[in-house]
Amino acid sequence: MPRSKYEAIYRDLKQKIENNEFASHALLPSEHALVQEYDCSRNTVRRAIAQLVSDGYVQTLQGKGVRNIYRPVDQAAFTIGGIESFKESSARNHKWGVTRVLQFMELTSDEKIERRTGFPAGTQLYYIQRLHYLDGKPLIINHNYFLKDAVPGLTPQIASDSIYEYLEKELHMTIVNSQRVMTVEKITQIDEKYLEMDVNDYNCVAVVSSHTYNSDGIMFEFTQSRHRPDYFRFQDNAVRRAPEPAQARSAG
């Protein structure tokens, strides 16, 4: 099935759920009605619904349909399971997002950068330091390292809008997966300066470090995101999987 078709349906249903066009815990239109509405196959609708289930937006009920179980959050939430840009996250949370580029430079990876990012020494990189605002509050500092060969034409103007949008729409890159580690670290002078935090109230920040890969298996980005703890929340949908049965011992 065309990937763009099911994704368009998924995004449209997701937006309708977030905009409360479907009441909480109400059933979505039937599969037949969705096939009619979107002029597509049942498999395409099922693929879109499966993605909404994975995101924790809906639950399928045997013999009844698909129930809206979406719960909006009060603070800004970023998804763990998905990969989204700051611009996309701002829109999803119905927040006004602004990005300010603090630094933009080209550099060559050395041993220190290799240990930090995973890019081998000698690799040509873009280093970008960005400050993200939500509804006028400075909440996140991003330290981005991008593989220069993979993102030709990157500029501060693009970095102030959406780098992922540029990669996908202009360079036609397919972003596949991101390996993330979440930690809590002591506040730095840069954190204190730009995040406008009172160290008497908070002496740490939440840190998300990610290595991101494209469809060619190339790690094109390492990012360390440093979040104000009073506005930090990551959202995930955990699924309980049946434990695998223990292997039967062979007789002997």
Q: What is the DSSP letter of 34?
A: H
Interacting residues of 177 by C-beta distance below 8 A, sequence separation 6+: 83, 212, 213
CA 207 – CA 229 distance, rounded (Å): 9
State the Cα torsion 119-181-10-75 to the nearest 10°: -130
pLDDT at 76: 54
- How would you class 137 by CB atoms within 10 Å of its CB: exposed for 0-12, middle for 13-18, buried for 19 or more? middle
pLDDT at 80: 55
- How would you class 217 by CB atoms within 10 Å of its CB: exposed for 0-12, middle for 13-18, buried for 19 or more? exposed
pLDDT at 89: 75
Quickly tell me which residue has 């060559």 as its tokens.
108
pLDDT at 1: 42
Strand, helix or coil at 180?
A: strand
Give residue-wise pLDDT tens across range 183-219. 999 999 999 899 987 767 788 999 999 999 998 899 9
What fold is seen in the domain 78-235? Chorismate lyase (3.40.1410)
Domain(s) of CATH 1.10.10.10: residues in the chain? 3-68
Interacting residues of 110 by C-beta distance below 8 A, sequence separation 6+: 121
pLDDT at 194: 93
- Phi-psi region at 88: left, alpha or beta (left = phi > 0; alpha = psi -120 to 50): alpha
Enter the tokens of residue 77.
Answer: 């939430």
Domain(s) of CATH 3.40.1410.10: residues in the chain? 78-235
pLDDT along the chain (252 residues), means of 10: 76 90 90 94 93 86 89 59 71 81 97 95 97 90 96 95 93 90 92 83 89 92 92 70 60 48
Among 142, 90, 159, residue whose Cα is nearest residue 167: 159
Pairing of strands 175-186, 97-108: unpaired
- Average pLDDT over the chain, rounded to an integer: 86
The structure's pTM equals 0.68
CA 191 – CA 113 distance, rounded (Å): 20
CATH of span 3-68: 1.10.10.10
